[in-house]
Amino acid sequence: MILDVISALCIIGAALMSLAAGIGALRFPDLLSRMHAASKPQLFGLVLVMFAVGLQTLHWGPISTMILIVLFQLFTVPVAAHMIGRAGYRTKHLRRSMLYRDELDDAVARAHARDVAERERAAAESASAAGEQDAAADRTTHHDDEPDAGR
């Protein structure tokens, strides 16, 4: 009986967290704040629900499967959030006025300077070289093509 009450409370907590995530995704003004709000129930709500299910079953068969579920969420949720945040930053889906500090800005500025210098060098090379050497330049290795500045 007391286990039923505890598991019911856990499931109600997970449901409220899902509701909070929905409200946050609906009401927040920015992509990054929406992502912050929406990623809350993905792990903690799931852990609460799994705890409730584990209290209801008390057997190792379903509990091991649930540990596996939580482990997969633990691996995949940061990947998805990171890629969405990176895509949002690259395509300027964020409001600069809502940021206190943009720590990526310095790295992006450095990468931009390097990019401009590389492009000027490539333009100078192609201006001095003949036309058929462009095909040869196409087959060279590009180890520093896109400066991976983490943006």
Within 33-72, the residues that bind another protein by CB under 8 A are 34-35, 38-39, 41-42, 45-46, 48-50, 52-53, 56-57, 59, 61-62, 65-66, 68-70, 72
Determine if 117 is a binding residue for another protein (CB under 8 A).
no
Among 95, 99, 112, 117, binds another protein (CB under 8 A): 112
Total residues at interface with another protein (CB under 8 A): 78
3-class DSSP assignment, residue 35? helix
3-class DSSP assignment, residue 111? helix
Supply the DSSP symbol for 43: I
Residue 7 contacts residue 55 (beta carbons within 8 Å): yes
The smaller minimum CB distance to another protein, of residues 99 and 125, is found at 125
Residue 46 contacts residue 62 (beta carbons within 8 Å): no
Scored b (16 or more CB within 10 A) or e, 60-69 reads eeeeeebeee
Q: What are phi and psi for residue 147, nearest 5 degrees? A: -65, 115
Q: Of residues 3-22, which lie at the interface with another protein (CB under 8 A)?
A: 4-5, 7-8, 11-12, 14-19, 21-22
Q: Of residues 84-103, which lie at the interface with another protein (CB under 8 A)?
A: 84, 86-93
Q: How far is the CB of 149 from another protein (least distance, A)?
A: 9
The smaller minimum CB distance to another protein, of residues 100 and 132, is found at 132
